Structure 1
Amino acid sequence: MAVRPDIIEPEQNRQRLVRQARGSRAYQDGLSAEEAVCSVCMKEGWLILLKRARTRRGEIDIVMRKGSLICFVEVKKRKTLRGATECLGVSQQRRLYRAAECLLAAHPHWSYEELRFDLIAVDDQNALHWVKDVIRQM
């Protein structure tokens, strides 16, 4: 008997639903981590310019300014702070840099003397670890 491709086996369907639920949870966790980071940054005197800034070259979680410094922030949420700080790969660094170039071109009114790329790691207990100038450090 031939297997019809339009019929999904119950186990395959269950696995698909589990993956969707896990992805949805991760997405919501990421959003709440970004909001927590924005709150902390604003308390420290940062002005949030953009959140989830999408460009044709990629997305930057947070763009913020303090004085003459514009900072592009990548927020990573993982079970541990160590896991979150170790997950920014070279290709993602390249994507962040290129997305920042697009944002700077799209916002010529932003005046700055310095640009920086930071990583803010968030763990399951919502503890934060801020790695400043992360792209130059790697």
Structure 2
Amino acid sequence: MNRRLAAERRGRRAERIAAWWLRLHGYRILGQRVRNPRGEIDIVARRGRVVAFVEVKARASEKELETAIDAYRFRRVVAAAEVAIPQYCGERFDARFDIILLAPGRWPRHLTNVWHAGQ
């Protein structure tokens, strides 16, 4: 199996784990791998009046997670979410940007509300 295909499989598995983690914590999954002209959102989930646009990152070790996402990468997720906000939030829900970090042998780490407008 080539490296790209292996990475794709790992990414899909990480997204499935993250979606289940969110469900177990009271979120309803509204979409996965949501694509639009500005990019892709790994998971869109809602709990109460908040819709979370979630980026999922999995790495081989917890140490590698420290550099898994930076401002440039996350800005791409925010750009994609900006296009999707009207569809998923409308006027009834507040939008939030989250990250879920996964490493073998560790519980998922859910970082909430990690991005604020104007960053």
TM range (shorter): 0.7 to 0.9
RMSD: 2.0
CA distance in 2, matches of 1:108, 1:79: 34
Check the 8 A contact 1:48/1:65 in 2, yes or no. Answer: yes
Q: Following superposition, which runs of at least 4 residues in structure 1 exceed 4 angstroms of deviation?
A: 107-110
Gaps of 5+ in 2: none
Q: CA deviation at 1:109?
A: 4.7
Q: CA deviation at 1:71?
A: 0.4
- Report % sequence identity: 30
Equivalenced residues, count: 117
Gaps of 5+ in 1: 1-19
For normalisation by structure 1, the TM-score amounts to 0.75
Aligned positions of 1:83-94 closer than 5 A = 83-94=64-75
CA distance in 1, matches of 2:106, 2:6: 15
Higher helix share: 1
Q: Which residue of 1 aligns with 2:114?
A: 134
- Residue 17 of structure 2 is aligned to residue 33 of structure 1: no
Match of 1:123 among 85, 103, 107: 103
Q: Which residue of 2 aligns with 1:95?
A: 76
Check the 8 A contact 2:59/2:68 in 1, yes or no. Answer: no
> Over alpha carbons, which structure has the higher Rg?
1
Aligned positions of 1:1-138 closer than 5 A = 21-107=2-88, 109=90, 111-112=92-93, 114-125=94-105, 127-136=107-116
SS at match of 1:31: helix
CA distance in 1, matches of 2:104, 2:97: 23
Q: CA deviation at 1:46?
A: 0.3
